C-alpha cells in the first residue's frame, strides 16, 4: 500500500514538473509571437505604397537625422536658385524672391533690400537681362549646430548682345524649423552673406 502511495506521489511530481515545463514553453512562445507581431506592425507603418503610372512602388519612411545632409544641401540649392534666377519681369522677380525669403532669415531680406535700393533689379528689367545660376557644390558641416554651409555656384547674366559669367560663393548657417508648404525641408538659412561674386568671362 505504501508502495502504491509512493508511486502516486512520484507520478504527481512528474505531472507537476511536466505541466510547469509546458506553461513556461507556452509563455515563451507567446512572448516571442508578441515581439514579432510588434516588429511587423512597426515595419508596416514605415512602408508607404505609391501608385505611379499604374505601377505600385514601395517607399520606406526614414527619420530626419538620416536625411539631414541631403535635405540641407537641397535647401541651400533651392534658396540660391530662387534668389538668383531672375528674368526681366517684375512679377517673376517678386515671385522668386518671395519664395527664397521663406527659406532664410532677415539676412537674405537685407541683401534683397540692398540690391533693390541700388537699382539692381531695375537694371535687369530696363536692360532685358536674364540671370541664371548653377550651384556647383555645397559644403556642409554637421558637427556643429546650427549647421555651417558654404555654397559654390556660377552665374550667367544673359542679354541680347553678350553673356557675362560670374563666380559666386556664399556662406551661412542652417537651423531646424517646422516644415510647411513654403518650406518643405524644414530648415532656415541664417546669417547669410556673399563671400565672392566676381566676373570671370564675357561672351559676345
For the stretch 187-201, pLDDT in tens is: 999 999 999 988 877
Rounded-to-integer distance, Cα 83 and Cα 112, Å: 9
Rounded-to-integer distance, Cα 26 and Cα 33, Å: 10
Is residue 187 within 8 Å of 176, Cβ to Cβ? yes
Q: Torsions phi, psi of 53, nearest 5?
A: 55, 40
Domain 64-203: give its CATH architecture.
Roll (3.10)
Tens digit of each residue's pLDDT (9 = 90 or more) over 65-115: 668 899 999 999 999 999 999 999 999 999 999 999 999 999 999 999 999
In the chain, what are the domain boundaries? 2-59, 64-203
Rounded-to-integer distance, Cα 130 and Cα 57, Å: 40
Q: Is the pTM of this model over 0.85?
A: no
> What distances in angstroms separate CA 104 from CA 99, 141, 144, 200, one per listed residue?
10, 18, 19, 28
Give the containing element (helix H, strand E) for 15.
helix 2-45
Q: Torsions phi, psi of 56, nearest 5?
A: -90, 120
Q: Torsions phi, psi of 170, nearest 5?
A: -130, 165
Pick from 9-18, 111-120, 122-131, 195-204: least confident? 9-18
Amino acid at each position: 500500500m505504501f508502495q502504491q502511495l509512493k508511486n502516486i506521489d512520484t507520478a504527481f511530481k512528474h505531472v507537476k514538473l511536466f505541466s510547469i515545463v509546458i506553461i513556461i514553453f507556452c509563455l515563451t512562445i507567446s512572448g516571442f509571437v508578441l515581439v514579432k507581431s510588434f516588429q511587423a506592425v512597426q515595419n508596416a507603418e514605415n512602408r508607404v505604397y505609391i501608385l505611379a503610372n499604374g505601377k505600385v512602388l514601395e517607399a520606406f519612411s526614414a527619420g530626419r537625422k538620416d536625411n539631414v545632409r541631403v535635405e540641407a544641401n537641397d535647401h541651400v540649392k533651392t534658396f540660391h536658385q530662387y534668389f538668383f534666377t531672375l528674368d526681366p519681369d517684375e512679377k517673376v522677380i517678386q515671385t522668386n524672391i518671395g519664395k527664397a525669403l521663406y527659406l532664410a532669415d532677415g539676412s537674405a531680406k537685407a541683401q534683397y533690400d540692398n540690391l533693390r535700393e541700388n537699382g539692381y533689379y531695375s537694371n535687369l528689367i530696363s536692360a532685358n537681362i536674364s540671370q541664371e545660376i548653377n550651384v556647383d557644390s555645397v559644403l556642409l558641416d554637421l558637427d556643429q549646430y546650427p549647421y555651417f554651409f558654404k555654397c559654390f555656384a556660377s552665374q550667367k547674366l544673359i542679354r541680347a548682345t553678350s553673356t557675362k559669367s560670374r563666380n559666386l560663393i556664399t556662406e551661412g548657417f542652417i537651423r531646424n524649423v517646422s516644415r510647411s508648404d513654403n518650406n518643405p525641408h524644414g530648415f532656415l538659412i541664417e546669417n547669410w552673406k556673399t563671400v565672392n561674386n566676381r566676373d570671370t568671362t564675357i561672351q559676345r
